[in-house]
Structure 1
């Protein structure tokens, strides 16, 4: 409840056009099939687990809840707003499938949220899960690296995931991807003055769901991929189809976030 109460009262402001968006793959490959709603907002296209083998999904109490990213032999990183208040017994985590209802079920032994996660402001919006047994890596189940501490987050990123969090929304049944351009933090500081902190990153607007705007909802699930690393986790996207409404992330290179993951997971 706090999440959407906080998000819905925020306003956004416009800004100048920027350069074209690309991915860590070739520019042509990254743009293939992506529909631009306007110059600063993109919709999702279908992805595959072969291209995104680090992607997992998990249910809470038998209902789809969130996505996560494999970062180690037993380690899954996810937003704190997805791990907060969750116990291992509630989690059914699936890996190795393009479709969130399929794949290998991996038991979870521990769910941890950043101890300083701030629910009203969503600061330090990161948590992790530890699997009960080491993950057996295959072509469709692979880890991805985290960024170095204090690495600057700029330029173009690929956004991957299912997009929507929780039981009250209709998330895509398969993994999706889209494109975004990272902005200076001032863009989000102006748009979301009570939410932007040094632990967050700001990007252009995007929508991981289908192409139709009537299907669009603000999203609170997904990850930003750049240079072969998972560099940020989606806190929430901007208002659907509005270029003047930026998206907000937990910056995984921010010292307070990166140190939390390194000190607890050794990654």
Structure 2
């Protein structure tokens, strides 16, 4: 068990609270290994990670306890829309299909250009608040910077958008939507989507990439701004996790094992946070997921949740019926070779 104390109070008081929590919460665990380290900057928050083997299964649990109160703070698993935390700047031209979706001239969400050249795939919760007012949206391509946009950027207005009919705003199930642009974007390469036939294959343990504009750091106190927003497109590598383990981390509050979600995380302070949903989760350059939601901000307790693309390819195609084909990629699906290392 690793402890990181962020407090100006006496460490002995914190240690007593941790000991009490440990006895109460882990009295029935199979085995637990402990390593202790203490560091004390000026803040009133204790964050510690518990790596435990429970019922012979590897399990990660992270708990926040404040040393300010006599009782631990109650925990929540409120799910937020997401932004990149940490990571590195994306190179110009590396992700030409990445879309920047603006609402009333302010950046709102990410998305990806589909092979029709006329449609953008994004998250449903990015579109739901607009109440069908497509005229509020503007979509930009071929830019890695938001303000000012790259000189050679492409701008498109939006004529309509469609939200998946089974979208659930509480559980974030079926969190995807398709935007129809005012005219096709034929100058750039669209995203390659995971094929339907790949939808039953497992990505667990594979490295993936998330891209988006957003906060570059997390903060630990809710009263403080949740980090500076990035003006540059960023990328971060994450690891795909087993959805059964992910469900446990979310206390089984969300349906994650139906094959329509992907869980991903990194335990090194680089992941996703509030604000930049709708962008892609990529494996070997193929979009396998849509950035949907996460609890916290680069918080290893709660991995990021992505909508898996494969199960929805047929629905996405239906939304594009009658659209011209983009000459870059007539077939927008790719079957991933999961055995390739």
TM range, smaller chain? 0.7 to 0.9
Q: Does 1:143 align with 2:193?
A: no
Mapped partners of 2:208, 2:184: distance in 1: 29
Q: SS of the counterpart of 2:193? A: coil
After superposition, the Cα gap between the structure-2 partners of 1:82 and 1:13, relative to the gap in structure 1 and judged at 3 Å, is farther
| Pairwise CA distance, 1:84 | 1.6
Residues 163, 149 of structure 1: CA spacing in aligned structure 2 closer, same or farther, 3 A cutoff?
Answer: farther
Give, in whole Å, the separation in 2 of the partners of 1:66 and 1:111.
Answer: 14
1:61 to 94, 104, 115: 104
- Name the residue aligned to 1:175: 233
> 2: distance between equivalents of 1:82 and 1:258?
19
1:114 aligns with 2:164: yes
Deviations 1:213-264 (A, max 9, x none): xxxx44552321113311101112353354333111111112xx22211222
From 103, 116, 125, the counterpart of 1:81: 125
Q: Quick one: higher RCO (CA 8 Å, sep 6+), 1 or 2?
A: 1
Please tell me the root mean square deviation across aligned C-alpha atoms, in Å: 2.8
* Residue 203 (structure 1) aligned to one of 264, 280, 300: 264
> Do the aligned residues in 2 keep the contact of 1:13 with 1:244 (CA within 8 Å)?
no
**Any stretches of 5+ residues in structure 1 without a counterpart?**
1-11, 19-41, 210-216
Structure 2 distance, partners of 1:133, 1:186, is 42
Query: Is 191-200 or 127-136 further displaced after alignment?
Result: 191-200
Q: How does 1:15-164 map to 2 (within 5 A)?
A: 16=58, 43-72=86-115, 73-86=117-130, 87-101=133-147, 102=149, 103-137=153-187, 141-151=188-198, 152-154=201-203, 155-163=206-214
Unaligned runs of 5+ in 2: 1-48, 53-57, 61-84, 216-225, 322-331, 333-341
Could you say which residue in structure 2 is the equivalent of 1:189? 247
Alpha-carbon spacing, 1:157–1:120, altered in 2? closer, same or farther (3 Å) = same
Query: Contact between 1:108 and 1:132, CA under 8 Å: does it hold in 2?
Result: yes
Contact 1:163–1:208 at 8 Å: present in 2 too?
no
Contact 2:212 2:276 (8 Å CA) reproduced? no
Cα deviation, residue 133, structure 1: 0.9
Match for residue 243 of structure 1?
300
Higher mean C-alpha displacement, 188-197 vs 126-135: 188-197
8 Å Cα contact 1:54-1:142 kept in structure 2: yes
Distance 2:137 2:180 in 1: 11
For this pair of structures, how many residues does the alignment match?
A: 219
| Deviation of the 1:169 alpha carbon | 7.6
TM-score, L = length of structure 2: 0.58
Larger of the two Rg values belongs to structure: 2
Secondary structure in 2 matching 1:146: strand
Asked if structure 2 preserves the Cα contact closer than 8 Å seen for 1:94 and 1:100, the reply is: no
Q: Distance in 2 between matches of 1:201 and 1:119?
A: 18
